[in-house]
């Protein structure tokens, strides 16, 4: 029999060898040269200084150009950044022009270093835009796009766009761009005017060959706030952006909008077009959904009001909120160019405890679809002292499957339709009676499981500017849900009407709460 004896010196050699192996393993693993803390240090340092407005470096022919000319400046698609790097992600850049008149600095982060991605006119094709080639040599980028094989293997699709202030747009598989997310909103809808914070610098981690996500850091700056952001983009059938943010206030603000979303609503089923239009609906989003901390689900259909409207929903520790596009049938839009049926909904899921605050919805009058007139955001009840960080983390989900966001034990609103109220006469002719009719279709698995004669009732309330003259509920055999019909007599048409409705069974909520504002008529 052989015996083995390990001396103290041998033991020491074994331990030393193991330690060296462990160190080698750590050295071989990726060790990023950059983190959110690095951006936060810069944001804090900026907050301690007086704001310095960025200066435009654009020659006049670029600053004064029309949008049609700006569109002619295209990135050369055969020169994407990381073209020769084994990574599923590629980058393209936006040229400066029009109101995108100040450059943003874009850096690449590798496992060992950080370096700036230098601007070059060779990245771009200028078409027939007349310009002095020497005048663009020292310009910069206005923003960037992220490409990824989203819809088909081997084919790069644009999945994210970063351009202008702190705006960014994202799509999932099969979608087209619609609403925008933002880093921060300040004093939205206040008479003093809105302040638009700006992402002034980005750091983008070079992804590994098999990475399914891309990490982007951003430094935000504005007269009254700075911020550090980490955005982790994960494309797919539902694209997500995991956001870590630290915001520092330079000065007092009236309304601080955190996790803001910006969208467009021109007309729809609850507010038909005032002029003849082959499209029944035209909007990027049709409603605000809120999942309150107490478990209540709220659905607020959007309006294009005649006057600025601000709605407030007090919520403690929200579980989620977002601007959604629930109508997915092409026949409701009939738009082959803009494909509003393929616009994403955006849902925000808070991480951690957000505390007391409110979700605000701002609706701004607009005459056409080129203006984003809808804003939704979270605003805390109290703000820290200037210089103290506001830490806010959340996940942004860009999806077309809005029904999967909801609790299957509760029904949700499929559509809200508005019509002139009328009464059927003895001769079967319908005659308008001066009321406003609202028809609300509730759907969901919980309703499909019920029989048509189930004892489903409603809870309806309005403010004192309206009188309910009809409140009927009937089974809808087409949707296998229930349709609520309300007719209201408005007392003062110069004022809006607030109302709420929900389905109830056995004294328990059966649906989300439909929270609607009938806009003022003047």
Confidence of residue 31 (pLDDT cuts 50, 70, 90): low
Confidence (pLDDT) at 154 = 86
Q: Beta strand pairing status for 105-109 and 198-205?
A: parallel
- Encode pLDDT of 388-446 as tens digits: 899 999 999 999 998 888 889 999 999 999 999 888 877 778 888 999 999 999 999 99
* Radius of gyration of the chain, Cα coordinates, nearest whole angstrom: 27
pLDDT at 136: 85
User: What single string gives the DSSP state of each residue in 55-75?
Assistant: PP---HHHHT--HHHHHH-EE
pLDDT at 30 over 90: no
Domains observed in the chain: 36-405 (2.70.98.10), 412-518 (2.60.40.10)
Q: Which pLDDT belongs to residue 25?
A: 41
Q: What percentage of the chain reaches a pLDDT higher than 90?
A: 82
* pLDDT given for residue 422 in this prediction: 85
Kindly report which listed range (171-180, 317-326, 402-411) carries the lowest average pLDDT score. Answer: 402-411
In whole angstroms, give the CA distance from residue 50 to residue 249.
12
- Angstrom distances, CA of residue 264 to CA of 161, 378, 495: 18, 19, 23
pLDDT in tens, 177-205: 999 999 999 999 999 999 999 999 999 99
pLDDT category of residue 16 using cuts at 50, 70 and 90: very low
pLDDT at 9 over 80: no
* 216 close to 36: Cβ distance less than 8 angstroms: no
Question: How far from chain centre, in Å, is Cα 369?
Answer: 18
DSSP string, 410-475: SBEEEEEEEEEEEEE-TTS-EEEEEEEEEEEEEESHHHHTS-TT---EEEEEE-TTEEEEEEEEEE
pLDDT at position 429, please?
A: 84
For residue 138, list its beta bridge partners: none
Alpha-carbon span 308 to 363, nearest angstrom: 6
| pLDDT 10s digits, 35-93 | 999 999 999 999 999 999 998 889 888 888 899 999 999 999 999 999 999 999 999 99
129-159: pLDDT as tens digits: 888 888 788 899 999 999 999 999 989 999 9
Tokens of 282: 């035209």
- pTM as predicted: 0.91
> What local confidence, expressed as pLDDT, does residue 427 receive?
78
**Per-residue pLDDT tens digits for 462-494:** 999 999 999 999 999 999 999 999 999 999 999
pLDDT of residue 28: 43
Q: What is the mean pLDDT of residues 254-259?
A: 97
Alpha-carbon span 182 to 377, nearest angstrom: 10
Q: What are the pLDDT digits (tens) for 267-302?
A: 999 999 999 999 999 999 999 999 999 999 999 999
From the list 507, 281, 388, the residue with the least C-alpha distance to 40 is 388
Q: Please tell me the distance from the alpha carbon of residue 379 to that of residue 256, in angstroms, as a whole number.
A: 6
Mean residue pLDDT across the chain: 92
What would the mean pLDDT of 111-117 be, rounded to a whole number?
94
* Residue 23: pLDDT over 70: no
Contact residues for 59 (Cβ-Cβ < 8 A; gap 6+): 131, 132, 135, 136
What's the token pair of residue 243? 């956001």
Widest distance between CA atoms in the chain: 112
């Amino acid at each position: 029999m052989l015996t083995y004896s390990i001396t103290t010196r041998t033991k020491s050699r074994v331990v030393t060898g193991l330690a060296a192996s462990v160190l080698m393993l750590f050295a071989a693993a990726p060790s990023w040269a950059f983190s959110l803390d690095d951006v936060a240090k810069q944001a804090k340092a900026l907050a301690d200084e007086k704001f310095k407005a960025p200066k435009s470096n654009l020659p006049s022919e670029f600053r004064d150009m029309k949008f049609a000319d700006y569109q002619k400046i295209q990135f050369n698609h055969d020169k994407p950044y990381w073209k020769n790097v084994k990574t599923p992600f590629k980058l393209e850049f936006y040229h400066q022009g029009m109101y995108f008149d100040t450059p943003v600095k874009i850096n690449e982060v590798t496992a060992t270093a950080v370096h700036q991605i230098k601007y070059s006119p060779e990245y771009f094709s200028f078409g027939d835009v007349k310009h002095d080639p020497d005048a663009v040599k020292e310009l910069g980028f206005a923003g960037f796009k992220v490409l990824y094989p989203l819809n088909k293997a081997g084919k790069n699709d644009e999945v994210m766009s970063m351009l202008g202030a702190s705006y960014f747009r994202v799509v999932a598989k099969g979608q087209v761009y619609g609403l925008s997310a933002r880093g921060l909103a300040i004093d939205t809808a206040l008479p003093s005017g809105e302040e638009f914070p700006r992402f002034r610098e980005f750091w983008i981690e070079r992804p590994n060959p098999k990475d399914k996500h891309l990490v982007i850091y951003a430094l935000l700056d504005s007269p009254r706030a700075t911020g550090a952001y980490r955005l982790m983009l994960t494309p797919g059938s539902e694209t997500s952006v995991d956001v870590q943010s630290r915001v520092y206030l330079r000065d007092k603000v009236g309304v601080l909008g955190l996790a803001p979303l910006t969208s467009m609503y021109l007309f729809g089923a609850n507010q038909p077009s005032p002029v003849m239009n082959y499209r029944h609906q035209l909007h990027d989003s049709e409603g605000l959904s809120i999942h309150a901390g107490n478990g209540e689900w709220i659905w607020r259909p959007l309006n294009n009001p005649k006057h600025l409207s601000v709605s407030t929903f007090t919520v403690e520790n929200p579980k989620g909120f977002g601007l959604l596009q629930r109508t997915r049938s092409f026949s409701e839009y009939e738009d082959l160019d803009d494909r509003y049926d393929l616009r994403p909904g955006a849902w925000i899921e808070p991480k951690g405890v957000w505390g007391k605050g409110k979700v605000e919805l701002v609706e701004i009058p607009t005459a056409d679809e080129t203006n984003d007139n809808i804003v939704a955001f979270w605003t805390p009840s109290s703000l820290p002292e200037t210089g103290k960080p506001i830490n806010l983390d959340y996940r942004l989900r860009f999806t077309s499957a809005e029904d999967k966001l909801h609790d299957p034990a509760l029904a949700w609103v499929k559509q809200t339709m508005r019509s002139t109220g009328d009464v059927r006469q003895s001769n079967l002719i319908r005659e308008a009676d001066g009321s406003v009719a609202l028809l609300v279709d509730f759907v969901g698995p919980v309703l499909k499981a019920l029989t048509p004669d189930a004892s489903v009732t409603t809870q309806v309330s309005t403010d004192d500017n309206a009188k309910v003259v009809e409140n009927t509920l009937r089974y809808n055999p087409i949707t296998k849900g229930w349709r609520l019909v309300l007719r209201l007599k408005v007392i003062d048409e110069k004022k809006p009407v607030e109302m709420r409705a929900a389905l109830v069974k056995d004294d328990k909520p059966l649906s989300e709460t439909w929270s609607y504002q009938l806009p003022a008529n003047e």
